[in-house]
Amino acid sequence: MALFDLFNIVFTEFLKISPDLLSKYTTIQDQLLYLVLIPHAVLFLFLFGFGIFIAHEHRGLKFLLRITAYIFIVWAGWYGTILVPLTIGWFYIMLGVALIVFFVAKIFHPVTAQALGGVAAKVLGEIGDKTIGKEKERETLEDEIKMVNDQIRTLEAELHHPGITPMAASYAQMQIQQLKSQLVALKRKASKL
């Protein structure tokens, strides 16, 4: 009974783990694994990176920051309310990813994996070009068609201007014909997409 009281004090009073979360793990072994070992392993990884990020090369300051952050996380109640549920899910995901990477690395030689990665990148790039690239090309063609139509309307409006000279009118007619042939070519190209 004294051992149970000790665990109860450590889990509820010190680590501030809620009784609801504590009741999910019925045996002492489960409680030690899921509520102490895994969260502490992840927490120590975080604290290691935290110390390096803040203090860089100063060894004593890194150690002080790590200890202070650990005490703060536990004392503020973040350990039992936020960290434990978060780290259990995170640990499962990282363990699964590590197993997949391990087996893929053992099956494929690094040179083969790099070549397969290059092939996959090329295939995905071609798929992107065929889908996204065509959509962009279609939008560009639609913009060009609109611009050519606007130029044709502007030139036709100039033809109906009362003060236009015969030479300017014939030049405008020639430009309209060129723009119409350009419009046909653009529409044909857009229909093929």
* Least confident span in 27-31, 126-130, 154-158: 126-130
- Domain spans, the chain: 2-110, 126-192
Tens of pLDDT, residues 67-98: 999 999 989 889 888 888 888 888 888 888 88
What contacts 35, CB < 8 A, 6 or more positions away? 11, 15, 17, 21, 22, 25, 84
Is pLDDT above 80 for 131? no
